[in-house]
Amino acid sequence: MADKYEINFASLLMPEPLPPVQRLTDHRVRHGRAPLNIDSIIAMDDVEEALEAFSEIASESPRLIPKLNIGTAALDENPADVAARERRKFNVSIEAQRSWPNPNLRAPDAAASRGSRSVHVFLPMQPPGELSGFSLLHEGLGAICVNDREPNEGAKIFTMFHEYCHLLLRQGGISDENNSDRVERFCNKFAASFLIPRTALVVAIGDVQIPHDFSDST
């Protein structure tokens, strides 16, 4: 039965039904927001169970697993301003960022851990194209999940900070490239501004002429 329904064997021995799994807001636009594949559902269950376990440990030893330690954001703020504020907290300069080797998740993840933000990051293998990632909040703990089958490392890094913004907003969700939803658009702008601040981008571009301001679609 455990194999058939793809649930933990111990779940069958519980004296009563388990509480319902946290339902995340689905912001996806790919595939017409089709029902999630079982692999994605299992990944969400696994992350939720991990946060529940961490929460129990934290209740006994807060120093071992501290609560989420990040700021907050509101949708009426300018996402670029929020990104600049968070970059200052991460204490990573543009010069340091440019010195990193080929893009990978280790460098930004190390920067995040340096600030003791207590954000748990997971990279499960999920169906390609179905979702970019998701974020969860549970009893003062936060988790980011990045699809390890994203097309390249740059996409994974962008997704990680997109989901980080979801945690700043205290709104977990399931994400892809959607730019038509207000929350997703805010998180996209935050991630872009966090990774490449506009001033640094203009300096790097140098004498290249930009014919018009960047729109949401470019």
Burial degree of 166 (CB within 10 A; 0-12, 13-18, 19+): buried
Q: Which domain holds residue 51?
A: 36-196
- The DSSP bridge pattern shows strands 25-26 and 173-175 to be parallel
Question: Is residue 153 assigned to a domain?
Answer: yes
For 31, the 3-state DSSP assignment is helix
Q: What is the pLDDT of residue 96?
A: 78
The total domain count for the chain is 1
**Consecutive 10-residue runs of the chain (218 residues): their mean pLDDT?**
75 70 71 71 84 86 82 94 90 79 55 60 75 88 87 86 93 83 92 88 70 54
The answer to whether 163 touches 157, Cβ cutoff 8 Å, is no
Q: What is the pLDDT of residue 214?
A: 54
Question: Is residue 140 assigned to a domain?
Answer: yes
Question: Is residue 75 assigned to a domain?
Answer: yes
Question: Is residue 134 assigned to a domain?
Answer: yes
Which residues fall within 8 angstroms of residue 130, CB to CB, at 6 or more apart?
A: 28, 30, 31, 36, 37, 40, 147, 176
Question: Is residue 4 assigned to a domain?
Answer: no
Q: What is the pLDDT of residue 108?
A: 54
Q: Is the pTM of this model over 0.75?
A: yes
The answer to whether 217 touches 107, Cβ cutoff 8 Å, is no
The answer to whether 142 touches 196, Cβ cutoff 8 Å, is no
Question: Is residue 185 assigned to a domain?
Answer: yes
Question: Is residue 18 assigned to a domain?
Answer: no
Question: Is residue 20 assigned to a domain?
Answer: no
